[in-house]
Structure 1
C-alpha cells in the first residue's frame, strides 16, 4: 500500500461542495434567465461614472420582470465592466444602435421616477455650459435616496389617489391662495416702475424676466408687532400672482434665515402650500421636500442653493434673491451658479424670472444690457422718502476733528450712536468675524506667519496665544522672521474685539454679537429696545421697528480687495445693512473710513444700478467678464499644458498665463493657472472644446491633477 508524502487536510463541515468557479466545473442554473420586455426592450441609462470620456448614455436590455418599473426617471443598477454602478434610466426605445449583445439591467432601485424630464434637460444644459459631466450635475440635482421617506411619500400619494408617476402635465393646477391681508400685490409693487405690470403678466401665464432693486425698509403685516424686510413681502406677492394664474413657483435665497423670512411672508400672503428644501436640513428632510416638489404636493418651493434644481412641475415663476452672495455659487464640479441655472431654467420651462438684490452684480446688469431682462426700479423721490440718511465719514470729512479722525470709531460716529440709543437699537457692521483675525509684528509690521504651514496668524482673545488660521497650531513662541521681535499687533479687528471696545465706550448699554463665531451664533430677530448689535455682513438681525442708526466700520478694508467684484460686493453688504434702518429723519447710516469712491457714492445715493452699469462699461473696455467668457484651468504644469493644448480656441491673445499660484499650505506640489478668454459668442464653443479635452485626458489616463472652471468667482 502506497501513501502520499503530504498529509490529507480534512474539510470543514458544509464545504464539501466547492463552488464551480474554484473547481473549474460550471454551476448548473436553477432557472432560465428572463427574456426582454415585450415593448421598448432597450433602456438608455446615464451611469454615475466619474471619467469624462464615459459621459454619455448606455443601452441596456430591460428584462421582462422589470418592464413595468423601468420607467424614465427611475434609479437603476447596472453592470459596467467588472462593477455594478448606479444611474438613471432616461428613456426606453425599441431598438439600439449597439451592434453587440446588450447586458440586462440588474435591478430597479425604486419605481419612483425621481428624475423629472425638465430637470434632466436642465442638467444637460448646465453640464454643457460649464464643461462638466451630466453625472456630476445630476449628483447636485437629485439628492441621495432615503427609502423610509420614499415609502412615506408613496403612502401619502396613495391616500390622495395619485400615482407615483405624477409630476408632469397630468397634475392638476395648484390651489389658489386664500385672500391676503392688506391690499395684496398691488400695494406692494405699486411704488415700482414696471412692478405691477410684471405681476399682471405672471398672473396671465406669461413669462416676463426682470432684475429688481427693492426699496429699503421693513413691512408690518397686519397687527403683528414684528416687521420683516420689504423684499420678502414683494416676493410673496409675486409668488401669489403665479399661483393665482394656475402655476407653481420656486424661490432660491442665500441662507436658512432668508428661507424662514420668505415662508413667513408667504403665510401672511395666504400661501400655505409651501415646502422648504435645504441641504443643511439633513438627508431625510431634504429628500422629503424633494419628493413633495416632484409629485406636486407643494405649490411653492423655497430653499437655498440646493433648490435651484428642485423638480417643480408646472413652473410659472423662479425668484432668486441676493445673487451677489457667495453661498449661491456651487463649490462642487462643475461649479454652477444659481443665477445662471435659474436663468436657463426659466427659458426651458417658460417660467417668469425675477432677480432681486439690495445691490446689483455686474452679471445682473449684463442681463439688462443684453435685453434679456427688464429693470424694475423706483423713482428717486420714492426712494428718498423710504431711505435713511447716509453720511460718509472719510478722513476729509473728519479733518477738523484732529487726531480723533484717525480713530476706528471717530467722535462723530460715537455721538451719533449715543443719540440713536435713546430711540432704539444701533447696528455696527464689521467686515471680519473673530477677535483679531490677522496680526503682524509690533515692531516692523511684517505679517505674522505660522512656522509650520506659513499661514497667517490670528488671536482668539485678549490673552490667547497667536494661532494659525490655516492649520490651527499655536504659536506661543513666535518670533518675527525679519527683526526677531516677539510681540504682535492687530492688523484686522473682528466682531468680538469690536464688541469688547464698544462695551467700554458705552457702559451700561447691552452689546450683542451676531456672527458665525459668536457664542450665540447668528441672531435672527431683535427687540426694539436700546442695544448695540455688532454683526458681520449678512448676519444682521432684523429689529422689530428698524435700527435707529447703523455704523459701517472699516470701510477701507471692505474695498481693499483685488477682485473684480470688490466694489459691487462692498456696496451690496452696505446697502443690505442700510435697508434695515428706519427712514430719514428717524434713521441714519454712517460709513466710517476711506473706502473707494465708487461704492461710497453708490451707498450715499442708494444707487446700486449706477455702480453696476459703470463697472460693466469698464469691463467691456478691458475685455473682462461678463463682457467675455473666461475659463480657468488650474493644476500641475504638465497636465494644464496638455489639456489647454487640445483646445483650438486657446491660441494667441486668448491665453493668459501660466502663472504660479501662491502656496495655501494644502498643496503638495506647485500649481499653475492658465486663463482662456474668448468673446461671448464663442463661449459655448469654448465649453465644448474643454469638455472634449477632458474626455481625451480621461481616456488616455494622463497624470497630474487639473481643474477646469468656467466663469470662476474670483474673475467675476
Structure 2
C-alpha cells in the first residue's frame, strides 16, 4: 500500500467482538485533525454502516498489501481520550471481563457542540494559587492523623476512619468532619501543583465537600462532576479536566476516570455504599478503578469512611493498603438500649431511648432512624400473622393509613375483599412501621414539637438548630445545624434479618453514618440489637469487626476473600464458558464452580477464584463471551439472539 499514516481506532460498540483496535487509513483531508484522542467516524465493512469511535494512536503505514478503509470523518478536533484514560479503561475492562468502550461511555460525556465551541473560544485556566492560610488550615486538619500529610505527598495507598462528628466550614455551614478532612488533603495537593479527585456516593456528599472547599481554594480550580448536571454542563466540566492546570474534581463514581493533569490524590468516601458500584456493564466499582489508576499513574489513594468494608480490610491485611491511625481516638457516645423490666417485650422505643429523646429535643433536633419509608411497609393477616399477599401477582400488600384499602406493592391493585388463603380471615394488621407512621406516633408522644420526615419521597438535606424530631430512613438523614442533640436508631433487628451476606457490614455502616451526625457528646441509642455488630458500634471498632468478618468468610471461600464471577445464558453456552475457564486455569478446585442452575434457556453459574488467578479467569470468560457473540451473529429462526452469554465479575455476594 502507499505511504501514509494509519489511525488505530476503538469503535464505540456494545458488541464484544469489536473490543479491539481497528486500522484505518487517514485521508489527506484529515491529516491535520486526525490526532490521538479525537472522536472519529469509521466504516464497518461487515456491518455496512458508519460507527463512532476514538482514535487511540497514529502509526506509520503498514507494509501489508491489505487495503485499509479510510476514516469517514473527524467529528471533533478536541482530543478527549488521553493516553492515560485509555490505559485505565483498558485495564479496568480487562479486569472485569468487559469492553473498554463501555468504560469510556461512562468516563467521557456525550459531545455538546455549543459547550465545546465555547471552551475552544475561551482561554485556558491558569495555575491556581492557594493562600498560605488555606495551606496552614489544611496542614492542621491532616495533623489529626499520624504522618498523613507526608504519606499523601509520598503517593501511598491509605485507609483511614474519618472523624465521626459534624463540623463547620469557613462560613459557618455544618458538614461532616470527613468532608473537611478530604477537602484539606485536596487543598494541600493543589498547593503543590497537583490535581485531586474526591469520589462520593451521592450529591449530598458532594455538596458537603464543595462547601468545605469554598473559601479555601480558587473557585475555578474546583470542578463538580455528577449526573445531576445537564449535558452541556457535564461536557464543559469534562473539557476543563483536560486542561493542563491542576484541579479538584468532586463527583460520583464516574469521577475516578477524570483525565486530570498531574494526579496527586484520588479519595474514595464511604466505599461500602452501593452507589459507588457501577450498575452498567462491566460493573467496575469506583474503589477498584481507583486502585488501578493508582497503579498506572501514581499519586496518593485514600479510602475513607466511618466504617471499614471487608474489601478494604482484605487489602489492609495483605499490606496493599496502609491503615492510618488518628493522633487521638474519639467516638460518639453509643448506648445499647433494650427494654427494661415492666416494659412490653416488643416496645419499639425503650424508656431509656424515649427519655433521652425527650430531654434532648428541648435543646435542638433529634434524629430517629427507621428501616423503611411509607406508613406501613407491609401487612400481615390479623389471625395467623402470615404476610398478606396480592391475589393477582403475589406481591406484598401495604396500607397508606389505618383502615385504608390495602394496595399491592408490585402491581398497584387495590385488594378489596381480601381473604387470607391460609385461615380465610378478612382482617389485616400492620406488621411494621415506616417513616410516616413513626412520625405520626412520635408526633402524638411529643405534642408541640416539629416532626420532619426525610426519605426517598420527602428528601431533606438540612435542618436548622430548632427543636424537632427528624424521622429518616437509612441513608436519607439530613444534616442538622450544629449536629443532632440525640440519635435513636430503630428497627435494627429488622435490618439485620435481611438475606444478605453483608447485612451486618451494611447495618454497621448505616448506623455509624447516622451516629456521626450527632453533636459531640450527644447520646446515640441503638435499640434492640446485640451481638458483634452492636459491640462494634458501641466501642467504635469498625475495622476490628471487618477483620472478624473477613476471618469468618475465609474458610467458606466467600467474597471478598475470593473473587466471584456470574455467568448467565443458555445452559449449553454457560457450560462451554465454564469449560473454557477450567482449561485456562487448572488450579481451580472442584468447588470453585457453583451451578449451573436454571432452565436450559436461562442458566446461571458462579465461579470463585483467587485474586492471583484473576487475569486468566477473566480472559477466559471474555473469550467465551466473544465466541458466543460471533456464533450468534446470524441466529436461526426462533433461536437465541445476539450476545446471549453474560458475565459479571466481582459480585459482592454469592447468589445463585
Give TM-score, length-normalised by structure 2: 0.93
Structure 1 residue 580 displacement after superposition? 1.2
Helix, strand or coil: the match of 2:217? coil
Helix, strand or coil: the match of 1:406? coil
Helix, strand or coil: the match of 1:492? coil
CA contact (8 A) 2:19 2:100 kept: yes
Count of equivalent residues: 640
CA contact (8 A) 2:353 2:525 kept: yes
Helix, strand or coil: the match of 1:319? strand
Corresponding residue to 2:371 among 387, 411, 431: 431
Rg bigger for which structure?
1
Match of 1:391 in 2: 335
Give the 3 Å change call, closer, same or farther, for CA 133–515 of structure 1 in structure 2. same
Match of 1:199 in 2: 149
Match of 2:85 in 1: 119
**In structure 2, distance between residues paired with 1:181 and 1:421:** 36
Structure 1 residue 383 displacement after superposition? 2.9
Task: Please say if 1:695 is aligned against 2:626.
Answer: yes
Counting only pairs closer than 5 Å after superposition, residues 181-580 of structure 1 correspond to structure 2 as 183-192=136-145, 194=146, 197-203=147-153, 206-222=154-170, 224-272=171-219, 273-296=221-244, 299-378=247-326, 382-384=328-330, 387-394=331-338, 398-403=339-344, 405-518=345-458, 521=459, 523-580=460-517
* Alpha-carbon displacement from aligned partner over 1:369-412 (angstroms, at most 9, x marks no partner): 12111112326xx334xx33211123xxx241332x42112222
Q: Which structure 1 residue ranges, 5 or more long, are not aligned?
A: 1-34, 163-171, 662-668
Helix, strand or coil: the match of 1:677? strand
Match of 1:133 in 2: 99
**In structure 2, distance between residues paired with 1:683 and 1:509:** 57
CA contact (8 A) 1:202 1:352 kept: yes
**In structure 1, distance between residues paired with 2:108 and 2:60:** 27
- Say which is worse superposed, 533-542 or 690-699, in terms of deviation: 533-542
Task: Please say if 1:642 is aligned against 2:576.
Answer: yes
RMSD value, Cα? 2.2
**In structure 1, distance between residues paired with 2:155 and 2:648:** 31
* Alpha-carbon displacement from aligned partner over 1:38-69 (angstroms, at most 9, x marks no partner): 7x521111112222222111111110001111
**In structure 2, distance between residues paired with 1:201 and 1:243:** 16
CA contact (8 A) 1:178 1:271 kept: no
Helix, strand or coil: the match of 2:418? coil
**In structure 2, distance between residues paired with 1:280 and 1:415:** 41
Give the 3 Å change call, closer, same or farther, for CA 108–473 of structure 1 in structure 2. farther
**In structure 2, distance between residues paired with 1:73 and 1:471:** 48
Task: Please say if 1:633 is aligned against 2:571.
Answer: no
CA contact (8 A) 1:153 1:288 kept: yes
Give the 3 Å change call, closer, same or farther, for CA 444–659 of structure 1 in structure 2. farther
**In structure 1, distance between residues paired with 2:452 and 2:190:** 41
Task: Please say if 1:50 is aligned against 2:14.
Answer: yes
Give TM-score, length-normalised by structure 1: 0.85
Corresponding residue to 1:712 among 647, 651, 655: 651
Give the 3 Å change call, closer, same or farther, for CA 636–700 of structure 1 in structure 2. closer
Helix, strand or coil: the match of 2:75? strand
Structure 1 residue 463 displacement after superposition? 4.8
**In structure 2, distance between residues paired with 1:281 and 1:452:** 41
Structure 1 residue 278 displacement after superposition? 0.6
Helix, strand or coil: the match of 2:228? helix
Structure 1 residue 105 displacement after superposition? 0.8
CA contact (8 A) 2:532 2:545 kept: yes
Structure 1 residue 470 displacement after superposition? 2.8
CA contact (8 A) 1:59 1:96 kept: no
Give the 3 Å change call, closer, same or farther, for CA 99–626 of structure 1 in structure 2. farther
Match of 1:652 in 2: 590
Give the 3 Å change call, closer, same or farther, for CA 220–594 of structure 1 in structure 2. closer
**In structure 1, distance between residues paired with 2:556 and 2:77:** 53
**In structure 2, distance between residues paired with 1:707 and 1:594:** 40
- Say which is worse superposed, 330-339 or 537-546, in terms of deviation: 537-546
CA contact (8 A) 1:214 1:377 kept: no
Q: Which structure 2 residue ranges, 5 or more long, are not aligned?
A: none
